[in-house]
Structure 1
Amino acid sequence: MTASGDIRSRLVYGLKIALPLLALVILSTLFLVSRRTDTEGAIPYADVDVDALAREQRLTAPEYSGLTDDGTEFLVRAGAARPLARGGGQAEDITAELVTDAGLTLGMRAAQGRMDPGAGVFTLAGDVLLETSTGYRIETQGLKASTVRTEVVSDGAIHATAPFGVLDAGAMALTSATETPDGYVLVFNQGVKLVYNPEN
């Protein structure tokens, strides 16, 4: 009995020393062998000019919407915009949509433009594309649209594809028809050239 008790007590005494040492060796191995963390690659950084952001005010993906006096809804979106000192804002990568009270839809797209809420207009410039729900596709270098009434006017010549053919003109204007309730007039003028494609 005495011999077995001595063996047991020696075993317990040895384990009290060996087990903590073994745990310490395992923990040391984990810290020493573990892969170092790449702190530079772990945090993604945006490729932006911080100094430029600090110098100029800038909005990302702004939206401007409203309703004209004659019931046309408009929504203007931009990729980025910055305010101008004299009011309004300069924008890039613009899309705009007008939906009239009668259901006519106009979609516009341009490389750049300017919002002037004080004057009630927004202008588009740089390869402007206007598409209507009635089948017109109009290309021009500039457009001006009113946010007070339904009115879209080209700033210069246009090239259009229409349901009845292809035409070129020096100017274009879309306005509400005063003599027809819920009616709209699309006018091409200043030297119109039309290639008429009759329906088969």
Structure 2
Amino acid sequence: MAASDNFHSRLVAWMKIILPLAALGLLSTLFLISRNFDPTKSVPVAQIDLERRAHEQGATNPVFAGVTSSGDQVMFRAKSAQPDQSDPAHLKAKVVTAQMKLIAGTVIDITSESADMNQERGTADLEGNVHITTTTGYVVDTDYLKTRIDLLYAETPGPVSGNGPPGDLAAGRMVLKTDEISGEPQLLFTDGVKLLYKPGKSKE
């Protein structure tokens, strides 16, 4: 019995030495295996300039709409819009589409590359390949178009070209507004109007 107790005591003593050494060996092996492991590369991190993103606040696919006192609907859509840091009411919009639904039934569609919009003044200045079409048959192109969101108004400070029911036309200026007397919408071409009259076109 004494021999058995003596063997057990020696076994326990050796195990106290062997087990810590084995554990140390396992830990060393783990460190050797992971020696080339870079924890900073375990999860890809996008390189984002947080300061730049903070200054680039904006909206994606924003919509601006208004109704005139006579009931005409005016709506602008953009791919993106970014406010001016010095004037939050001033927005720079890109890839703009606009539509004016007149109470008389005419619909005017407008597209442009960009627009400067001021929400306080209710203005939207479209620029860059401005293309205008109306359900009355007019198709007009220009570089710059000044419009309003709160009332029926559109004006080109520069020349326009296109065609309509009478034929092909060009002018130094175009104005869309409501006639003060009749209250009806008017599309006016002024400042050196050139019209290539096509009788057959007006009958189509």
User: Corresponding residue for 2:123?
Assistant: 121
Q: C-alpha separation between the residues in 2 aligned to 1:78 and 1:47?
A: 28
Unaligned runs of 5+ in 2: 1-40
When residues 66 and 167 of structure 1 are mapped into structure 2, their CA distance, relative to the original with a 3 A threshold, is same
Matches within 5 A, 1:124-135: 124-135=126-137
User: Corresponding residue for 1:61?
Assistant: 61
Q: C-alpha separation between the residues in 1 aligned to 2:131 and 2:174?
A: 13
Q: C-alpha separation between the residues in 1 aligned to 2:47 and 2:175?
A: 42
1:73 and 2:73 equivalent? yes
Deviation at 1:74, TM superposition (A): 1.1
Q: Provide the TM-score with structure 1 as the length reference.
A: 0.72
Report the residue type matching 1:118 in the other structure: E
Q: C-alpha separation between the residues in 2 aligned to 1:95 and 1:89?
A: 15
Unaligned runs of 5+ in 1: 1-39
Q: Is the 8 A contact 1:141 1:155 kept in 2?
A: no
Q: Which has the larger radius of gyration?
A: 2
1:107 and 2:88 equivalent? no
Deviation at 1:54, TM superposition (A): 3.0
Give a deviation string over 1:139-193, Cα, whole Å, max 9, x none: 0001111223211111311002111111111000011123324x21111111111
When residues 49 and 76 of structure 1 are mapped into structure 2, their CA distance, relative to the original with a 3 A threshold, is farther
User: Corresponding residue for 1:24?
Assistant: none
Deviation at 1:46, TM superposition (A): 9.5
When residues 191 and 185 of structure 1 are mapped into structure 2, their CA distance, relative to the original with a 3 A threshold, is same
| Superposition CA RMSD, Å | 2.4
Matches within 5 A, 1:177-192: 177-181=179-183, 183-192=184-193
Deviation at 1:49, TM superposition (A): 7.0
Q: Provide the TM-score with structure 2 as the length reference.
A: 0.70
Q: C-alpha separation between the residues in 2 aligned to 1:79 and 1:109?
A: 12
